[in-house]
A and B are shown apart, each in its own frame.
Chain A
Amino acid sequence: DGGITQSPKYLFRKEGQNVTLSCEQNLNHDAMYWYRQDPGQGLRLIYYSQIVNDFQKGDIAEGYSVSREKKESFPLTVTSAQKNPTAFYLCASSDGTFVSGANVLTFGAGSRLTVL
């Protein structure tokens, strides 16, 4: 079945450590996204990528980094510079029909990061 796989599902980290969240999709989608969700809150965009080797900052990119070396992979690194990293992180992809703006997002199951 096609879909998006995020790992790990749960992650605990000590303050000052960098962590990398994995996101892999086999939907052959061009565009991929990272969102952060805090308890009871909406979706805030961290980074997105429309094509391999290119990505753009979202609304809350500070303290995060990404790479897009392969079409199917879009890992997110939460750096020690991120002040409040404890959150639920969601990866998504779309076929990227940005011309019409009609791109539908498929989300992964999420990674829940807790900083101890």
Chain B
Amino acid sequence: GQQVMQIPQYQHVQEGEDFTTYCNSSTTLSNIQWYKQRPGGHPVFLIQLVKSGEVKKQKRLTFQFGEAKKNSSLHITATQTTDVGTYFCAGPGTPLVFGKGTRLSVIA
């Protein structure tokens, strides 16, 4: 079945550094979603990308959907301690197909 591979599994950054997580699929995706889970919390929907080459921004977060619609990335500029958590991508399916997540640690 469809799988989405997410890398890296872990990322430790100094506060103020940038961070990127990548999500890759072997098949074309009709859309991709991103979720954030704070430590001890539950996943919260961030955004959905639908169009080839789409780029969306939410403050310091930039989300991209590849031209071939097989990959996506989430980039955080100048990380802050509030960015700590696990970021999951999810491909379409019945039900959604989640990546294993990237856990971000921010060192103040």
Report A's interface with B, CB cutoff 8 A.
31, 33, 40-43, 45, 48, 50, 58, 90, 92, 94, 98, 100-110
Verify B45–A104 contact, CB threshold 8 A: yes
Q: CA separation between A69 and B18, bound complex, in Å?
A: 47
**Given A58-B95, A100-B30, list of 13 further CB < 8 A pairs?**
A40-B103, A42-B98, A42-B101, A43-B43, A43-B88, A43-B101, A50-B94, A92-B43, A100-B92, A105-B35, A105-B96, A107-B42, A109-B41
Q: Which residues of B contact A98 (CB under 8 A)?
A: 94
Given A42-B101, A108-B42, A109-B41, A103 and B96 touching (CB < 8 A)? Answer: yes
Verify A102–B94 contact, CB threshold 8 A: no
Verify A107–B44 contact, CB threshold 8 A: yes
Verify B95–A33 contact, CB threshold 8 A: yes
Verify B92–A101 contact, CB threshold 8 A: yes
CB of B100 within 8 Å of the partner chain: yes
| Residue in B43, B92, B100, B101 whose beta carbon sits within 8 Å of that of A102 in the complex | B92
Tell me the dominant secondary structure on chain A's binding face. Answer: loop
**From residue B53, how far is it (CB to closest CB) to chain A in Å?**
18
Q: Which residues of A contact B24 (CB under 8 A)?
A: none
CB of B99 within 8 Å of the partner chain: yes
Q: Which residues of B contact A41 (CB under 8 A)?
A: 100
Q: Which residues of A contact B103 (CB under 8 A)?
A: 40
Q: Which residues of B contact A31 (CB under 8 A)?
A: 95
Q: Which residue of B lies closest to A50 (CB)?
A: B94
Within 8 A of A (CB), among B65-108: 88, 90, 92-96, 98-101, 103
Q: Which residues of A contact B42 (CB under 8 A)?
A: 90, 107-110
Q: Which residues of B contact A101 (CB under 8 A)?
A: 30-31, 92-94, 96
**From residue B37, how far is it (CB to closest CB) to chain A in Å?**
8
| Residue in A40, A50, A90, A100 whose beta carbon sits within 8 Å of that of B43 in the complex | A90
Q: Which residue of B lies closest to A4 (CB)?
A: B42
